[in-house]
Amino acid sequence: MTMDVVKSKKVVEDEYTIKPQASTPAVDTSSWPLLLKNYDKLLVRTGHFTPIPNGCSPLKRDIRSYISSGVINLDKPSNPSSHEVVSWVKRILRAEKTGHSGTLDPKVTGCLIVCIDRATRLVKSQQGAGKEYVCVIRLHDKLPGGQPQLARALETLTGALFQRPPLISAVKRQLRIRTIHESKLIEFDNDRHLGVFWVSCEAGTYIRTLCVHLGLLLGVGAHMQELRRVRSGAMDESKQMVTLHDVLDAQWTMDNTRDESYLRRVIAPLETLLTSYKRLVVKDSAVNAVCYGAKLMLPGLLRY
């Protein structure tokens, strides 16, 4: 191994390392990635560190580990089911298992978080997370009150609502309560009987049912024409969203040119889904015990 390689390896290792010292160092951690972001804002219990050469930053894992601990913010195309899309990703990346953040109907497009291998254990938490949609609604007649009437009706249908799943549905058709957090009318054309609205809601809300209820409330009848999910849990359209073609191209580039940069761009580390969670930093000497089921005790904590 040449001197330059040794030097560069040392620089990479030292990038996020804090040496053992008596006082807590003043560092700016606002640009540190993922779960290390704003590390200096955490409450300090002790300044004791036990640096060991194991582990690495989530962004610097070797490519096989990076893929098997990765998530993809996928732009689901119209027509295939969520299950089909996820199984295609599994076949493209030659992964052992894949999971997704909540089923989208075949005709619905947008944000589908695909978890790969080790990241599939986060699927449950993502399926229960809040969702945001943009919907095109078609009314069955002209509204006498125009846009303000539709905006008022949309505002009425917020909070906890009773919903029964649509006739064609994968779950049992029983009455359930779902919460609409917020909704906003984006556009309305009274002559063409078309409206576009944005809605933020609880997981498991049926937008198709919401459109039918809107039609009943307005007294003209309505149905959902088109739907797109713009946010699912921690991921939205602005965060590294990719298509199936991007995933296929990235894997092809890796296989044929050994260039892994495209795969790293398409796949994000599983830690990106956990950035909104509360953090505890434990001593390296306590990690093994915690992994084997020991309780988190105060002496093992560094920051919280």
DSSP letter at 53 equals: S
Per-residue CA distances from 249 to 70, 115, 239, 246, 267 (Å): 17, 19, 19, 5, 13
Q: Could you tell me how far CA 139 lies from the centroid of its own chain?
A: 32
Q: Helices 244-257 and 82-93, interaxial angle, to 10°?
A: 10
214 exposure class (CB count in 10 Å sphere: 0-12, 13-18, 19+): buried
Q: Residue 12's pLDDT band (boundaries 50, 70, 90)? A: very low
CA–CA separation, 76 and 38 (whole Å): 33
Contact 230, 111 (CB under 8 A): yes
The angle formed by the CA atoms of residues 287, 290 and 293, to the nearest 5 degrees, is: 155
| Contact criterion met (CB below 8 Å) for 142 and 190 | yes
pLDDT in tens, 190-223: 999 999 999 999 988 899 999 999 999 999 999 9
pLDDT band at 11 (very low <50, low <70, confident <90, very high): very low
Q: Any catalytic annotation for residue 117?
A: no
What would the two tokens of residue 69 be? 């601990």
| The pLDDT value given to residue 14 | 54
Q: Report phi then psi at 189, rounded to 5.
A: -120, 105
267 or 12, greater pLDDT: 267
Q: Nearest-CA neighbor of 270 among 229, 233, 295?
A: 233
Distance from CA of residue 49 to its chain's centroid? 32
* pLDDT tens by residue, 245-303: 999 999 999 999 999 999 999 999 999 999 888 888 888 888 889 999 999 888 888 88
Q: How far apart are the C-alpha atoms of 81 and 59, rounded to whole Å?
A: 31
- Amino acid found at 299: P
152-161: per-residue pLDDT in tens?
999 999 999 9
Q: Which amino acid is at 35?
A: L
Helix (H, G, I), strand (E, B) or coil at 25: coil
Q: Which H helix or E strand runs over 176?
A: strand 176-189
Report pLDDT for 15: 56
DSSP state of 65: H
Give the span between the Cα atoms of 288 and 50, in whole angstroms: 13
Q: What percent of the chain has pLDDT over 70?
A: 88
- 22 pLDDT tier (thresholds 50, 70, 90): low
Domains of the chain and CATH, by start:
131-232 (3.30.2350.10)
Selected catalytic residue, list 14, 62, 105, 117: 105
Q: SS3 helix, strand, coil % of the chain, rounded to 5?
A: 35, 25, 40
Under DSSP, the state recorded for 242 is B
Q: Are 197 and 134 in contact (CB under 8 A)?
A: yes
CB 185 within 8 A of CB 194: no
